[in-house]
Copies of this chain bind each other. A is one copy, B any other.
Amino acid sequence: MKFFNNEDTKIFALGGLGEIGKNMYCVMHNNEIIIIDAGVTFPQGDLIGIDYVIPDFTFLKQNESKIKALFITHGHEDHIGGIPFLLQSVNIPAIYVPNQAIGLIRKKLNERNIQYKNLFVYTEKDKVKFKNMEVEFFKTTHSIPDSHGIAINTPNGTIVATGDFKFDFTPVGPMANLHKMATLGNKGVSLLLSDSTNALNEGMSMSESRVDEALGEIFKSHDGRIIVATFASNIYRVKHIIDTCRRNGRKIAIFGRSMETNIEISIESGYIKNNDLFVTPSEANRLPDNKICLLCTGSQGEPLAALSRISNGTHRQIQLKDDDVVVFSSSAIPGNAVSISRTINKLYLKGVKVYTNTLLSDIHTSGHGKAEELKLMIRLMKPGYFMPVHGEYRMLKTHADLAIECDVPKENTFILSNGEILSLYKGKVTKNGIVQASDVYVDGNRIGDISNAVMKDRQVMATDGIVVVIANVDTSKNILLSNPNITTRGFVLVNYNFELLKELEEISKKAIISKLKDRINYAEVKQEIIGQLAPYIYDKTGRKPIILPVIMNIKETK
């Protein structure tokens, strides 16, 4: 394919650099923009109350007419979770997705009542052509079926984005297409964007087949019920568990909405062939213990997930028994250690046997390649330039070092931040400019109406609560109409602190009266209240709540 070339091709991330989450990579040539993935991040740490973090779509809004298509590498939330928000913000002419992802995306759009007609399934055989660019695909192995890498042929050279991948020479699903990767590498890859998640881990990740064996061993050695928690989207793992149940004469009951959804979609799309083993929870309760497996969500200790409710004893259908066995076929996502511990402790307390991957490493393997696998990808692609993606900064840095070990010149590696632009021109890559790419918070159903100020207020209220001071003032006579009302939430136990609250009332009263002048200045009165109360409260309680004075002018409002 020949293109008319009079300018550079631009490559930048709107998400995915310096973080694990909200992957979104853009390739722009002249008046065409191709987007790869549209993910969300589930917030951690101090972003309390935020449901998702999504990429900043400002650049895409400003260049809406140029957008040609969105390509999805695979159906994980950090690659597809942002689609509903993206579609609410900009017009996307077409979305190309692998087979397994389409059901997940449709479900997601339905839940938000978004009508969208231009969802197309691609396979490895397809090529998608635009005026200046052509997109092709290669099959990879990951912890969800139908993961693909994407190659974009541009007038300036070929750009490859691996998507999430590992190499598994004895996979449970189909083999990754090593030969197509080799062919792409031979034809020449100008720039490789590659998954950095496990760059810090040496060696090679364990094969999914080994997990199969380890699960089989647990199934063989226990006669009680077996309860397995795993990532709902890890369909290969779910497939193992089903196969293991079949071999061991156990039926399966499913718990947790995301588990139900993923299995349903996998049956529809053919990844799970037989559903003859599935039984309802009440059927499960009637079967002998050695004839049943409970497959559930909650491997991260999520408080409302099935396993958490089972471990709490608050699950409507399942009560734990002494000889139950619980298998966490999963790893801990950083930040979830405390909630996972809590669940495990509750399970121990009920007297059941618990297997986790820290006690028995073979019951889980990561979907992301470790150092040796990352090197294999680099060797296959032989890229001229290298841009590690999908990782925190230390992972990107370590991945760049791996590329240098594999003969990519140091000056040809680019560790970027979201928004930083690479320019590819006639096979040469340089850093050139920046687009807006901040974090956008989604809380409830509203995009981006949470600012840092709102987050800061939440943080303070979470830590020390709020003290509301309400004063009714008659400005015509310059008098305070009544004692200020002090109301608190999350501050102190009100019943035991009447004296303290009475003090706050007195201090507020004096502060207001001292500022009642010819012409009352509301801001000044509020400032005075805060200025008087804050040090007093800190002295008495060691706390720094939000102090919220509200001055109401009764004459004015009558």
A interface residue numbers (CB < 8 A to B): 18, 44-45, 48-49, 51, 200, 334-335, 337-339, 341-342, 344-349, 354, 358-359, 392-394, 397, 443-446, 449-451, 453-455, 457-459, 461-466, 468, 470, 472, 481-483, 485, 487, 489-493, 496-497, 538, 541-543, 546, 548, 550, 552, 554, 557-558
Contact = CB atoms under 8 A, between A and B. Distances in A.
Contacts of A466: 461, 466, 489
B485 A550 contact: yes
25 contacts: A49-B462, A49-B463, A51-B542, A334-B338, A341-B394, A345-B392, A345-B393, A346-B393, A443-B464, A444-B538, A444-B543, A446-B542, A451-B493, A457-B489, A457-B490, A458-B463, A461-B461, A461-B490, A466-B466, A468-B548, A470-B552, A472-B472, A481-B557, A482-B558, A489-B546
A453 B493 CA distance: 8
Contacts of A455: 490
A187 B458 CA distance: 59
A392 to B, nearest CB: 5
A554 B394 contact: no
A29 to B, nearest CB: 30
A454 B557 CA distance: 34
A49 B464 contact: yes
A339 B45 contact: yes
Contacts of A481: 554, 557-558
A444, A497, A557 interface centre (most CB from chain B within 10 Å)? A444
Given A481-B554, A541-B446, A489 B470 contact: no
A445 B492 contact: no
Given A334-B341, A485-B550, A541-B446, A348 B48 contact: no
A458 B462 contact: yes
Contact of A394 (B345, B449, B450): B345
B491 A454 contact: yes
B493 A449 contact: yes
B482 A18 contact: no
Nearest to A45: B338
A188 to B, nearest CB: 31
A457 B488 CA distance: 10
Nearest to A48: B462
Nearest to A344: B394
A472 B557 contact: yes
Contacts of A457: 465, 489-490
B334 A335 contact: no
Contact of A492 (B344, B449, B462): B449
Contacts of A496: 449
A417 B359 CA distance: 24
Nearest to A202: B359
A505 to B, nearest CB: 12
B483 A557 contact: yes
A461 B464 contact: no
B550 A470 contact: yes
Contacts of A393: 345-346, 348-349
Given A458-B490, A472-B557, A485-B550, 13 more contacts: A49-B462, A200-B358, A200-B359, A443-B542, A444-B542, A457-B489, A461-B462, A461-B490, A466-B466, A481-B557, A481-B558, A485-B552, A487-B550
Nearest to A335: B338
Given A345-B392, A481-B554, A481-B558, A465 B458 contact: yes
A437 B482 CA distance: 44
A335 to B, nearest CB: 4
A454 B359 contact: no
B338 A48 contact: no
A394 B461 contact: no
A462 B465 contact: no
B468 A468 contact: yes
Contacts of A554: 472, 481-482, 554
A548 B485 CA distance: 13
Nearest to A334: B337
B548 A345 contact: no
A504 to B, nearest CB: 15
Given A348-B394, A359-B200, A462-B48, A454 B487 contact: no
A420 to B, nearest CB: 13
Nearest to A20: B341
Which of A335, A465, A541 neighbours the largest number of chain B CB atoms within 10 Å of its CB?
A465
